[in-house]
Amino acid sequence: MKCKLCHLDKKLCQSHIVPESAYGSLYDDKHQFYEVSNIQKKLPKLQKGLREPLLCKCCEKHLNKYESYFADIWFKNKLLPTHASKEISIIGGLDYQRFKLFHMSILWRAGIASREEFVNVKLSNHEERLRQLILDDDSGNPNQYSVFGYILVFPNNYQVCHSLLIQPVEADLFNVPGFHVTFGGCVWHYLLSNDVDLNQFPFILKDDGILHMLRIDVDQYDPVMDLMRERNERGWKRQG
């Protein structure tokens, strides 16, 4: 079958859409995690996350260098604080290329995935452009497929809420289409544009490796509260 990244006919791996490196503390002691989804009627227990045959082994290794980098800095080195006491947190020392390509790869994989959890992610003409950038190790300029994030906290003590993985949510801002994906204690906003107005988006990741992240209370983030209300109405269930 044809690999979605290199377009060569090769044996495909069961590829993660959101890589394991994004799960962090979602895993339990059996190395399993629970997803939260608007579509699934149950809370599925999955051993290896959301997967489908997308990439060949070579392209899996190509993306793994971004995934390993994110896992090392975000979870192992605890770059994100456990508490966000300030309204804006400044996170520096990021490798712009690897950090941004990690997020670009998630956006691209969500867009090409056939699983129902990602059915609302439509990349249209951006799909091929993102594929080529990722294949070429090209993170683009800061105003191309920009990324920024909100630190998701509990309102009573500003402790970072690491335990949520939420499927992509459409999120247009200033007439720029985009998506929210929640993992790693943050709501990540991916802008689906190759020419973002930097004056409108001052907090996007810059090529100096500095990221300004706004704090948002979990009870002020509508997708989380919508899911909580939905689950409470029909009951919380686990498979397995």
> Residue 240 falls within a domain, yes or no?
no
Alpha carbon distances (Å) from 161 to 4, 14, 32, 33, 155: 33, 29, 18, 15, 10
> Residue 83 falls within a domain, yes or no?
yes
- Is the pLDDT confidence value at 25 over 60? no
> Residue 7 falls within a domain, yes or no?
no
> Residue 99 falls within a domain, yes or no?
yes
Other CB atoms within a 10 A radius of the CB of residue 90 amount to 9
Mean pLDDT calculated for residue range 110-137: 95
pLDDT, tens digit, 9 for 90 and up, residues 153-188: 988 899 998 877 777 889 899 999 999 998 889 999
- pLDDT grade, residue 232 (50/70/90)? low
Contact 185, 151 (CB under 8 A): yes
Whole domain around residue 54: which residue ranges? Answer: 12-234
> Residue 3 falls within a domain, yes or no?
no
- Is the pLDDT confidence value at 9 over 80? yes
Mean pLDDT calculated for residue range 53-69: 96
Quickly list DSSP for 3-62.
-TTT--B-PEEEEESS-GGGTGGG--TTS-EE-B-SS-SSB-EESS-SEEEEEEHHHHHH
Q: How many domains are contained in the chain?
A: 1
Distance CA(55)–CA(200), nearest Å, equals 35
Residue 227's pLDDT is 55
pLDDT over 70 for what percent of the chain?
Answer: 80
> Residue 42 falls within a domain, yes or no?
yes
pTM for the model stands at: 0.84
Residue 124's pLDDT is 94
Contact 5, 58 (CB under 8 A): no
> Residue 1 falls within a domain, yes or no?
no
- Is the pLDDT confidence value at 98 over 60? yes
CA atoms within 13 A on the CB side of 22: 25
Q: Is 85 helix (H, G, I), strand (E, B) or coil?
A: coil
Q: What are phi and psi of 149, to 5 degrees?
A: -150, 160
Residue 167's pLDDT is 79
> Residue 68 falls within a domain, yes or no?
yes
